[in-house]
Copies of this chain bind each other. A is one copy, B any other.
Amino acid sequence: MADYEILKTIKSPKDVKDLSFFAINQLCEEMRAAIINRVSKIGGHLGPNLGVVELAVALHYVFESPKDKIVWDVSHQSYPHKMLTGRAEAFYDDKKFAAYSGYTAPEESEHDMFMVGHTSTSVSLAAGLAKARDLKDEKYNVIAVIGDGSLSGGEAFEGLDNVADFHSNFIVIVNDNEMSIAENYGGLYGNLAELRRTQGKAKDNYFKSLGFDYVYVEEGNDVAKIITELMKIKDCERPTVLHIHTLKGKGYKFAEENKETFHWSVPFDVETGKPSVEFNQLTYAQVVADYLERRVQEDDKLMVVNAATPGALNLQEFRTNHPENYFDVGIAEEHAVAFLSGMAKSGLKPVGLFFGGFIQRAYDQISQDLCLNKSPAVLVIEGAGISGMDATHLGIFDMALMNSIPNLVCLSPSSADETTRMLDWAFKQKDFPVVIRTPASLPKELTYQPSEEIILNQYEVVKKGSKVAILGLGNFLKLAEDVAALMQEKGVNPTIVNPRFYSAIDENMLNQLMEKHNTIITLEDGILDGGWGQKIAAYCAPHKVKVYNFGADKEFTDRVKAEDLYLRYKLTPQQIVDEVLG
């Protein structure tokens, strides 16, 4: 099997159509091996993709992509689709791993409609394609594949609600791999469970309630069965849901047994299922998790909320140890934020943990439900900052987003110790919603330690100097030290400032700095446009002092290494010194 005999012959979907039934089954096995090959070596989404191998084969067997349009939700389950559309080598050939991303990408293939990495968008995006088709009086199938937890997102509901009223072809494939949010199966995931139990015959069918025609297929990993059912609904003239029951992690024992761990995996040993890389480095996520574990011992009003990412946020232990104080809302960031606001208003001490790239879905709720109401909930943004991530998973936009919201106090810690002090500060005060923003990994040890006291909106000088003042926000305080060290070699002795708060400027501090310095440098680990540094520049702009802002450009980068981005954005100490001292 490991020679991928059939897979190597698949250059486009039409090659799938020529295969015998026997060959199709072998193809599925080879695709599984190829997925495991890639993910075990470079990491990626394992479980979701192993579960939809048969679905992807059946879709390309039955439909005529790209004439028929298939939109994959989140697109972290598009590996099989990618293999069938000319990109199989990215899975079986180790040298070609980097040539293709782990998400759909129109630049890679005409079979990919959109670049997608956030959840719950497929139905709405596909709705646009279907509407365009109808208005242009064209004929083809439009298919949205959704599932793997995505149905709980509000955008998915909005899309389904609208599409159900279309009077033409629209196919929604619900990939139901039992990925759900709560063990008691309330809500929509309870309805899916009931539909599985009754083989689709349950009274009160969510999809039928919205107006969809509905078909249930229990054998979601039986390629012949799915082909048969897809043939029946192909060219349907009404919005139709095909609900298939699949096995997440199908075909790889460890992934079947531990669905959460293998949803997304670091490189691992195929024989043992154990990670093949070691992470000894302390992360901010662990610092935060340890803090919450200590805090809940003293304060049973602490409530930890997250949106379906307990693994990546190191919350699994907390979940096990403190089920009463833990709530996973599923993929539903909007609800999460309003929910946090309600809890804070009632005197709880709620904290929501989110990734920087995902919390942006709740901007309106942060502004209206939380900040307009001054509910003192705490939001911890994790994994933020410049990174080599996919374009859909960048963590550089959150600061620009948050710092224009009234009443919101935003802090960025420079070290593990300061993270816990900021958490203490945030939980102690009752006047404001607070954001604490942390990157993925801790910076190296600081030379100049910030003081322990945190005072609202006050920056702190950690080292006094003259002429040049360097303000290094959060983890870039270390960068400020490095820049200062280099300047010292050139005879300049800069002042170093730990701003802590990126939602406000410390006018007193800036006035003092402007008296004794002719140059101010700001360093921030996020985009410059709309960011914190530009606030500083604007405050100083009517005065004589020169201000230099350093941070990320306004662009979507796709898997460009962080080191390369630092160079591109002139964020190395040498580049900064050259730019400022000339």
User: Quick one: which of A327-370 are within 8 Å of B by CB?
Assistant: 327, 329-330, 332, 334-335, 338-348, 350, 360-361, 363-365, 367-369
A338 CB contact (under 8 Å) in B121, B334, B391: B121
Supposing A128-B341, A155-B338, A556-B407 touch, asked if A165 and B136 sit within 8 A by C-beta, the answer is no
* A404 interfacial contact with B, CB 8 Å: yes
Q: How far in angstroms is the closest Cβ of chain B from A239?
A: 8
Q: Known interface pairs A204-B208, A335-B155. Does A364 touch B363 (Cβ–Cβ under 8 Å)? A: yes
Interface size counted on chain A using CB atoms at 8 A:
118
**Interface digits, A225-264 against B, CB 8 Å rule (1 contact, 0 not)?**
0000000000000000000000000000000000000000
Judge if A549 is at the interface, Cβ distance under 8 Å. yes
- Which residues of B are found within 8 Å of A368, using beta-carbon distances? 116-118, 121, 392
A522 CB to nearest B CB, Å: 9
A403 at the interface (CB under 8 A from B): yes
- In the bound complex, what is the Cα–Cα distance between A204 and B194 (angstroms)? 13
194-244 of chain A: CB within 8 A of chain B: 203-206, 208-211
Residue of B165, B343, B360, B556 near A363 (CB, 8 A) is B360
Decide: A335 and B124 in contact? CB cutoff 8 A.
yes
Judge whether A546 is part of the interface by a CB distance below 8 angstroms.
yes
Query: Which B residues are in CB contact (< 8 Å) with A363?
Result: 360-361, 363-364, 401
Of the candidates B115, B157, B542, the one whose C-beta lies within 8 Å of that of A548 is B542
B-binding segment of A445-453, A465-473, A475-483, A526-534: A526-534
A155-B338, A211-B186 are contacts. A161–B332 as well, Cβ < 8 Å? yes
- A153 to B158, Cβ gap below 8 A? yes
Chain B residues in 8 Å Cβ range of A208: 203-204
Q: Mark A157-184, 1 if CB is under 8 A from B, else 0.
A: 1111111111100000000000001101
A311 within 8 A of B: no
Please state if B334 and A136 are interface contacts (CB–CB under 8 Å).
no
CB-contact partner of A406 in B131, B157, B548, B555, under 8 A:
B555
Residue pair A159, B548 in contact (C-beta under 8 Å): no
**A554–B404 touching, CB < 8 Å:** yes
The chain B residue sitting closest to A166, CB to CB, is B186
CA distance A127 to B365 in the complex (A): 14
- Given that A124-B334, A124-B338, A204-B205 are known contacts, is A538 also in contact with B530, CB under 8 Å in the complex? no
Hey, which chain B residues are within 8 Å of A182, CB to CB?
Answer: 165
Chain A 124-158 residues near chain B, CB threshold 8 A: 124-133, 135-136, 152-158
> A342: which B residues are within 8 A, CB to CB?
113-114, 124-132
Interface centre among A124, A373, A542, A543 (most CB of B within 10 A): A124
Chain A residues 286 to 303 lying within 8 A of chain B, measured CB to CB, are 300-301, 303
- Cα of A15 to Cα of B186 in the assembled complex, Å: 39
Do residues A548 and B541 form an inter-chain contact, with CB atoms below 8 A? Answer: yes
User: If the complex has contacts A129-B345, A186-B164, A404-B527, are A205 and B209 also in contact, measured as CB distance less than 8 A?
Assistant: yes
Q: Are A334 and B154 neighbours in the complex by a CB distance under 8 Å?
A: yes
Most chain B CB within a 10 A radius of its CB, from A136, A166, A344, A556:
A556
Whether A346 contacts B133 by the Cβ 8 Å rule is: yes
Interface: A537 (CB within 8 A): yes
Q: How far is the CB of A412 from chain B (nearest CB, A)?
A: 16
Most buried by B among A161, A166, A303, A534: A161
Contact A132 B404 (CB under 8 A): no
Closest to A346 in B: B132
Q: Which residues of B contact A547 (CB under 8 A)?
A: 538, 541-542
Partner of A538, one of B126, B330, B405, B538: B538
Interface residues of A in 316-336 (CB under 8 A from B): 324-325, 327, 329-330, 332, 334-335
The CA of A404 and the CA of B399, in the complex, are separated in Å by: 10
Asked if A275 is at the interface of the complex by the 8 Å CB criterion, the answer is no
Q: How far is the CB of A287 from chain B (nearest CB, A)?
A: 25
Given known contacts A210-B187, A342-B131, A115 and B373 CB-to-CB distance under 8 angstroms: yes
Chain B residue numbers with a CB within 8 Å of A133 are 346
Q: Is A17 an interface residue (CB 8 A)?
A: no
State A191–B164 Cα separation when bound (angstroms). 11
Q: Contact: A330 with B161, CB < 8 Å?
A: yes
CB-contact partner of A364 in B184, B361, B537, under 8 A:
B361
Bound Cα distance A529, B136 (Å): 44
**Shortest beta-carbon distance from A319 to chain B in Å:** 16
Query: Which chain B positions have C-beta within 8 A of A130?
Result: 342
Q: List 9 A-B contacts (CB under 8 A).
A: A127-B335, A131-B327, A136-B347, A203-B204, A360-B364, A401-B404, A404-B531, A530-B535, A537-B537
Contacts A132-B303, A161-B330, A164-B190 given; 8 further ones with Cβ under 8 A?
Answer: A127-B342, A158-B332, A165-B190, A205-B209, A401-B401, A406-B555, A537-B541, A542-B548
A-B interface, 6 closest residue pairs, ranked by CB to CB distance from nearest: A128-B342, A154-B154, A165-B186, A132-B346, A124-B338, A158-B335
